[in-house]
Amino acid sequence: MKVTPLTPHIGAEIRDIDLSFPVDNETFAGIHQAFLDWGVLVFREQTLTRDEHKAFARRFGKLHIHPMNYRGTGEPEVLVVKTTKDSAYTAGNGWHTDVTCDEYPPMGSMLYMKQVPGYGGGDTMYADMYLAYEMLSETMKELLSGLIGVHDGALPYVGAYKSTPPEGGYPKNEHPVVVTHPDTGRKVLYVNSGFTSHIKGLNPGESKALLGFLFDHIATVPRLTCRVSWEPGTLTFWDNRCTQHHAIWDYYPHERYGERVSIVADERPVT
């Protein structure tokens, strides 16, 4: 297994491994450590069935069922990510962390790309939320300490995607604005423009101003990011606890198709 970093602090390509075969304990330990070290792992030249995709993900924990898969499919753990010329939107076209509206958001997600646009485009950018926190001033860190963000599934799923919510609505939960990664012990900035609607305890103007600054900080500092260019057969596995990502829709009218499997976290995000 060969690990090649994409940047000095986030992202790495993993070569010389075939994920269609069961991963032995030694190889799994190496992948897990690389996952913690780099936050985003890119596996090239994979040929996976859905069962093999899910089997690899299950080595890391229980599989997640996306809130928009509530109607029921034959394989509810598989989220289809498909964009065509007729699509009203493309999933993830904005900086976000996956499904932070859940009480137990995914600890990680694995997107397996099967079709890429014929004329280029369709990359995904990833941002390092350790570094996003570390780059803040000590005064700002002190201000954010103890604040609670409200994460609302209706914000993207109804507001942006115009989907019909299930009975009782989409999930809505509160998480600290700054959390501690359970495996590395490092502090993480944990708000995102996809799901964080407001900060609890602030008036609307204060909340909008503070979140606006944090969202701009994430979206406009190139140093935070790495960029993954997809090929058919690429699987990318990202740590949802310390990264954000943005799927770039720059390939209209061409198509892009992938399938995502996510793993539920063992615990809620905590300070």
The domains of the chain are located at 2-264
pLDDT at res. 264: 98
Closest CA to 153 of 177, 171, 168: 171
pLDDT at res. 180: 98
pLDDT at res. 70: 75
pLDDT at res. 73: 66
Quote the distance between the C-alpha of residue 111 and its chain's center.
Answer: 10
Sheet of 225-228: strand order equals 225-228, 124-128, 243-247
Find where tokens 């596995």 sit: 237
Helix ranges (H only) for the chain are 25-38, 50-58, 129-134, 138-144, 154-157, 204-220
Task: Note the CATH architecture for domain 2-264.
Answer: 4-Layer Sandwich (3.60)
pLDDT at res. 201: 97
pLDDT at res. 74: 80
What's the N-to-C CA distance of the chain in angstroms? 35
Q: Which helix or strand (DSSP H or E) is residue 125 part of?
A: strand 124-128
* Residues acting as catalytic residues: 96, 98, 245, 260
Report which residue type is found at 140. M
Determine the Cα angle at 227 with ends 221 and 229, to 5°.
155
What burial class does residue 154 get, using C-beta atoms within 10 Å of its C-beta: 0-12 exposed, 13-18 middle, 19+ buried? middle
pTM: 0.96
Residue 73 and residue 38: Cα distance in Å, rounded? 33
Residue 56 and residue 27: Cα distance in Å, rounded? 12
Give pLDDT tens digits along the chain (271 positions). 899 999 999 999 999 999 999 999 999 999 999 999 999 999 999 999 999 999 999 999 999 999 988 766 689 999 999 999 999 999 999 999 999 999 999 999 999 999 999 999 999 999 999 999 999 999 999 999 999 999 999 999 999 999 999 999 999 999 999 999 999 999 999 999 999 999 999 999 999 999 999 999 999 999 999 999 999 999 999 999 999 999 999 999 999 999 999 999 999 999 9
CB 187 within 8 A of CB 130: yes
